[in-house]
Amino acid sequence: MSQSYQHILVAIDESPISYAAVEQAKCLAQDLQAKLTIMSVIAVDPFVGVDFYKVAPAITDYFMQAESHAQNRLNEIQANLARENLSAQVKLIRGVTPSEGIIHVADEVGADLIMMGSHGRTGLQKLMLGSVAQNVLTQSPIPVLIVKA
């Protein structure tokens, strides 16, 4: 493949492996002079099935905290990259599953490579948790680079 990547999308969560993915993406973006977008997804309501009205204030509080935490993390990464003369746009999306969100944003920003960390869980743990990385790999029309711990 002769064409190199122009726009790298990095999907992060709060895990240390996310930061490793950002580091890898930073090096690749510098080498290729590619654009960089860092994103995070506030996943769909994890409390589906409970009596919503009884717990609504707690849920609202949970989401507001999660959103604020994720936005701060994105801003911090953006600032760290800026200190190294690398500009990155950041995106926070909500209300979808992580894999849907990642694929949607990749399309929206015109990314031609998705980078993300994988926790490398196996067996029952992977089966129970489902794997965002696996879903993105399966559904993405563009290449996906998985960074492992």
Residue 107 falls within a domain, yes or no? yes
Q: Residue range 136-149: average pLDDT?
A: 91
Structural domain of 73 = 7-148
Residue 56 falls within a domain, yes or no? yes
Average pLDDT of the chain, as a whole number: 86
Residue 102 falls within a domain, yes or no? yes
Residue 15 falls within a domain, yes or no? yes
**pLDDT surpassing 70 at residue 44:** no
Residue 2 falls within a domain, yes or no? no
Number of domains in the chain: 1
pTM attached to this predicted model: 0.85
Q: What is the pLDDT of residues 92-130, one digit of tens each?
A: 998 788 899 999 999 999 999 999 988 766 666 555 445
Could you give the percent of the chain with pLDDT greater than 70?
Answer: 82
Q: Residue range 34-52: average pLDDT?
A: 76
Assign residue 27 the CATH number of its domain: 3.40.50.620
Q: Residue range 53-58: average pLDDT?
A: 69
DSSP β-ladder status, 144-148 and 113-118: parallel
